[in-house]
Structure 1
Amino acid sequence: MTVIGIDKMSFFSPQQYIDMVELANARGEEPDKYLIGIGQTQQAVIPPTQDVVTMAANAADEMLTASDRKAITMILFATESGIDNSKSGAVYLQRLLGINPYARTIELKQACYAGTFALMQARDYVTLHPTEKVLVIASDIARYGLKTSGEVTQGGGAVAMLVSANPAIAQINQDSQYLSRDVMDFWRPIYADTARVDGKYSANIYQDFFKAIWTRYKQKTGLDINNFQALAFHLPFTKMGLKALRDVLPEASETQQTNLMREFEASRVYNKRIGNLYTGSLYLSLYSLLDNSKTLKAGDHVGMFSYGSGAEGEFYSLTLRPHFKAGLINGQLEELLANRKQITIAEYETIFDNQLSGPLDRQLDTQQDTAKFVLSGLKNEQRQYICH
């Protein structure tokens, strides 16, 4: 049987960030509330010259070869930060990246969960069309507002994944278990540019969903915690995943508990410094795990817990391929993080309030943005994207 799964992964987040200690001091909070209680150390800041389309393009462009662009016959763009209520972000992406014009271009939405659904659809499509490839994008900007309870869990970025036959990174197994319920833990009305969230309630729902789906997964598959070398979680903030992991650790031996905790720490290295990227949070965590683990090897099973408020959750597994690190861009995240610039809280607040919005024509200053793809402004109510 042909193996179908994730062949390549790439990531992008803008060049500016704030330090969580400085944010805590500015908000009159104890730094450990953010560093330990939330589990975050830094947060990406999204300038007006970047949106979900440009971040997606910057992420995907770095990993795609000319032959990839010809072989892609579907682009699945998962986001809850869409720029248009009608036109798919995937259409813009197709043009910017020079992807095969005879490709489907679709945008998907279900809070933070949509990236997982996109990945499953990509797997099923390639199973039927093994000579073709699907580009899956999870791109988002987490916005809760200045001086709100959710401010510490902001951030943004894009994860790009190429799904193909005979993948380099991992096989996507056919073992998904999922759950959906109408829950008002988090939402963003059409008229609002920031999310509404009941933080404590949402965290409880996340844990409840994980425990319910994990129990069902074990019942349906006959597998248990001993079958996994690592568990990766949706990490809007990294303490949330840690709480979920602790719920199931008692099922493992002491040695297994130690191993799973070690791999969890590897899986949140990058999320701690980027912050929340909604649909991409689980997949940045997977990237972090694969890049930072010193012990994972071919054939190991990684459990994946995806959650989207509102609410939908899914648990499934990946099986690592013989050369899984080859599917990552060597040194990509280290270089990105090393080249970022720390800005002050005052500068961050100005940027937060200066996002492109409204129908009026506007020209943005793109000179300070070093990314390849940038948003240069609005003309006749049309976003203007350029390539540096």
Structure 2
Amino acid sequence: MRNLESEEHRETRGFGIDKLNFYTPNQYVDLVELARARCVDPDKYLIGIGQERMAVAPVDQDIVSMGANAAEPLLDDVTRASLGLLVLGTESGIDQSKAAALFVHQLLALPEGMRVMEIKEACYGATAGLMVALDFVRSHPDRRALVIASDIARYGLDTPGEVTQGAGAVAMIVSADPTVLAIEPGTVVASRSTYDFWRPNYSTVAFAQGKYSEEVYLAMFRDAWNRASQMGLTCPEGLAAQLFHIPFSKMGRKGLRTLQGMMTDDDYGRLANRFEDSIRYGRQVGNIYTGSLYLGLISLLENDSSLRPGDRMGLFSYGSGSEAELFFGKLCSGFQSELNSAGHRAMLEGRTKLCVEEYERVFNAGLVQDGSRQVLERSDFDAPHYLTGLDRHQRLYR
């Protein structure tokens, strides 16, 4: 009888995000100052792009250390012991063979008996990791998974994409009976090969066809929304918020505007108001690629006090190249207890502002590539994990 009851419970329990957190480096450049240095009207950045500040990653904070810094506050002994899977989504890989997730696994002192992997599909990578994690916990409801999105967006100095750079990481614990967001099983996904954004192995900066990328993003969202509507998944009158992948806030705003006329003014107004809360953190951090959608989720939850358990929201994930997925979730009872509004705001407000010359110097700093020994200075003494240097082509962390 106990086995039958267990199976019945497994069919009805929810699966989703139990805890989540983000980390961003402790320095930034003000986009008004950057605009003036580039002889551009600041409103082009503040309004046209929709960004205010851009996080700047020092050389000792890479995707490994940022990912570990985002995940560390989520882990206690019980959570560590329950983990059976670690997935790191990134498009800022540090090795063509060894997964960055293995470095994170060691830094966080996680159990050896678990699966560890890195996933790449541009900005969709973390969502792919989340879906893998959901499948894992559905099959192993007594285990948890750790999903990390960690990226450093680089386009080059004084380039059209420079203002959409950024750096940071989001970490999520995925489990059965989650505390934050229960993910619904019904999703809409689409994949197609495009050259809207890419970075060849031989380049340290990305290439993009900006207008074309916007067209693909919007077309894939419209198609996903229409398909979801046909499946009965959208239900605008019952949707508390619609979140987007935010490479810069104006892109998500354009996605939202495609819904005008497809629902009542009241329903659209509710989504539009909550969209503003979802971009507050992103406007201060910039583009963090795989983590941008989930930074928006944290921003919404920590800046909108009107949200309640049971509220339903849509999440649109997009990765250039291209892959997109629209999925839905409901806020769980007690989600407010897992938020860290004061800590995240203190982190953002306590950062050091770099002048444009300092920012350019940090941007141009790099790691040795000849196998020699390099020792790095620690940039953030509030962050537990950082890259200490290189020796014989091996990265050394503490």
Residue 101 (structure 1) shift:
1.0
Distance in 1, matches of 2:105 and 2:163, equals 33
| Counterpart pick for 1:52 among 63, 73, 89 | 63
Query: Which of residues 189, 195, 201 in structure 1 aligns to 2:212?
Result: 201
Q: Percent identity?
A: 45
2:173 corresponds, among 156, 162, 166, to 162
How many Å apart are 1:330 and its aligned residue?
4.6
Q: Give, in whole Å, the separation in 1 of the partners of 2:269 and 2:125.
A: 31
* Alignment pair present for 1:12 and 2:9: no
| Partner residue, 2:130 | 119
Name the amino acid aligned to 2:281: Y
SS at match of 1:85: coil
Say whether the 8 Å CA contact 1:47–1:355 is kept in structure 2.
no
TM-superposed CA distance for 1:250, in Å, is 1.8
Superposed CA offset, 1:75-130 (max 9, x none)? 00100001001001111111100111111110000000011111111111101111
Cα separation, 1, equivalents of 2:369 and 2:60: 15
How many Å separate the matches in 2 of 1:228 and 1:358? 50
Q: Distance in 2 between matches of 1:207 and 1:234?
A: 11
Looking at structure 1, the residues matched to 187 and 166 of structure 2 have their Cα atoms a distance apart, in angstroms, of: 28
How far the C-alpha of 1:357 sits from its partner, in A, is: 4.8
* Alignment counterpart, residue 396 of structure 2, candidates 380, 384, 388: 384
Deviation at 1:222, TM superposition (A): 5.0
Kept in 2, the 8 Å contact 1:361–1:377? The answer is: no
Task: Identify the residue that residue 228 of structure 1 maps to in structure 2.
Answer: 239
8 Å CA contact 2:310–2:333 kept in 1: the answer is yes
- Indicate whether 1:322 and 2:303 are aligned: no
1:249 deviation in Å? 2.5
Is the partner of 2:87 in helix, strand or coil?
strand
Q: Which amino acid is 2:390 matched to? A: L
Contact 1:175 1:221 in 2 (8 A): no
Separation in 2, partners of 1:357, 1:6: 39
Residue 263 of structure 2 is aligned to residue 239 of structure 1: no
3-state secondary structure, aligned to 2:261: helix
Q: Contact (CA 8 Å) 2:213, 2:320: kept in 1 or not?
A: yes
> Quick one: distance in 2 between partners of 1:161 and 1:222?
24
Q: 2:293 touches 2:317 (CA, 8 Å); kept in 1? A: yes
Q: When the two structures are aligned, how many residues end up with a matched partner?
A: 386
Secondary structure of the residue that 2:259 maps to in structure 1?
helix
Q: Does 1:372 align with 2:384?
A: yes
Post-superposition CA distance 1:235-286 (Å, at most 9, x none): 0000000000011022222222221111000100000000000000000001
Aligned-CA RMSD value: 1.1
The offset of 1:66, in angstroms, is 1.3
CA contact (8 A) 1:20 1:41 kept: yes
295, 311, 335: which one aligns with 1:284: 295
TM-score by length of 2: 0.95
Q: Which amino acid letter does the alignment assign opposite residue 228 of structure 1?
A: L
Describe the SS at the equivalent of 2:328.
strand
Matched, 1:89 2:100: yes
Larger deviation, residues 359-368 vs 70-79 = 359-368
TM-score (norm 1): 0.97
Please tell me the residue identity of whatever aligns with 1:16.
Q
Residue 33 of structure 1 deviates from its aligned partner by: 0.3
Contact 2:58 2:379 in 1 (8 A): no
Q: Are 1:294 and 2:294 matched, yes or no?
A: no
Per-residue deviation, residues 163-203 of structure 1 (Å, max 9, x unmatched): 01111101011111011111100000011110010111111
Aligned mates of 2:273, 2:385 — CA distance in 1: 36
How many Å separate the matches in 2 of 1:134 and 1:187? 29
Distance in 1, Cα, partners of 2:233 & 2:221: 17
- What is residue 198 of structure 2 aligned with on the other side? 187
Partner Cα separation in structure 2 for residue 215 and residue 181 of structure 1:
17
User: Distance in 2 between the 1:113 and 1:135 partners?
Assistant: 17
Alpha-carbon separation, structure 2, partners of 1:279 and 1:378 = 26
Q: Within 1, Cα distance between the matches of 2:357 and 2:220?
A: 38
- Does residue 24 (structure 1) correspond to residue 35 (structure 2)? The answer is yes
1:383 is aligned with what amino acid? Answer: R
Correspondences of 1:256-267 after superposition (within 5 Å): 256-267=267-278
